Amino acid sequence: MKKIIRFAAMLQYPLIKGGIALIKALPYPLAIFLGRFFGLLGWLVDPFHRRVAQIQLRHCLGEEYRPSIVRRVFMNHGDILVDTIKYAYMDDEEIRNRIAIEDKEHLEQALSSGKGLMMITGHIGNWEILAHLPRLLGIQFCVMADVRNDPRIEAVVDDIRSRSGATILPPKGKALMLIRELKRGNTIGVIMDQRGKRSDMLFCDFFGLPAPTNPAPAFIAIKGDAVILPVSSVKENGRYRIIFHPPREASSFGTGKEAIASLSQYMQSWVEEVVKTHPEQWFWLHCRWTRRSEMRRLIRTGEDFRSFVLSQANGCAEPPESSDIPGS
């Protein structure tokens, strides 16, 4: 088994390099067709993530659920992969022709405050496209990204991300680094719709179910006295719509653990509203309400998903104090 793992690790880098080269070389329509084909292939050969998406979609969408949405979720991941690479190598004019900016006045309102700006988004549409905002609008912002163990793969990913114009911060210093950026009046970007560590989490209502939620984004916004600007990027008819939503000042939520809980709920509720408009474009393959091991057990035993999610929330502690937030 160890030999197989080592062999797979050896293949990873050349496969990634080869895949990027192929996507770059193909005409855009053919590259998208190929990406969606591999997404469809994933839907066929990955029963676990197919089942994860089915369970979560069924419980969240209710009567609006259709089995075909699961297939479209997988195919959308093909679009994400292809577009992340293709857009990185497009010139500025082509980028502008493929992306529509809507409700820019919300961005201007947020910037006019003079405070640090936290742009929040979720795993909806293609969040990587938002990194091109410096090329589209001339605004500068930074995001924090994980570093991969293989320096060769890290160099490839860094090259693609650096072409967008956004500043990538290393995952060191965590919350404190981002708070400093906000207090300097700078702009940061945060994706805030996934689970955090269980010891750090509070529960927020998400599609009518209590979802374990990382309180760090709300904590950072409050400590940095930020203006919060929700922004979404969804794909329609082959083009992306980047939509700026009305801003909110973090200070309007108060201070302390109650404010962290209230602001966290505001963030999750905003993501929910966007997901409802394009459910096939959210990251349903991620176990949002449970750990992966728990989801595997639920699938194996047939235990009711909703009952389990509600039962785990019953033991939820109060929202964490500021000193409990990682990196604080």
Could you give the domains of the chain? 95-324 (3.40.1130)
Helix (H, G, I), strand (E, B) or coil at 324: helix
Q: Are 87 and 26 in contact (CB under 8 A)?
A: no
* 3-state secondary structure at position 327: coil
The tens digit of pLDDT for each residue in 118-152 reads 999 999 999 999 999 999 998 888 887 777 777 88
For 222-251, write each residue's pLDDT tens digit. 999 999 999 999 999 999 999 999 999 999
The pLDDT assigned to 146 comes to 73
What confidence score (pLDDT) does residue 6 get?
65
pLDDT at 143: 83
> Contact 224/205 with Cβ under 8 angstroms?
no
Answer yes or no: are the C-beta atoms of 263 and 226 closer than 8 Å.
no
8 Å CB contact between 231 and 244? yes
3-state DSSP assignment of residue 197: coil
pLDDT for res 49: 98
Does the pTM surpass 0.95? The reply is no
Tally of residues, the chain: 328
Asked if the model's pLDDT at residue 322 lies above 60, the reply is no
pLDDT band at 69 (very low <50, low <70, confident <90, very high): very high
The encoded tokens of residue 205 equal 């209502």
Q: Is 138 helix (H, G, I), strand (E, B) or coil?
A: coil
Q: Round to whole Å and give the CA distance between 226 and 240.
A: 27
What percentage of the chain's residues is helix, strand, coil (to nearest 5)?
60, 15, 25
Residue 167 confidence (pLDDT): 81
User: What pLDDT, on a 0 to 100 scale, did the predictor assign at position 8?
Assistant: 58
Rounded to 5 degrees, what are φ and ψ at 72? -70, -30
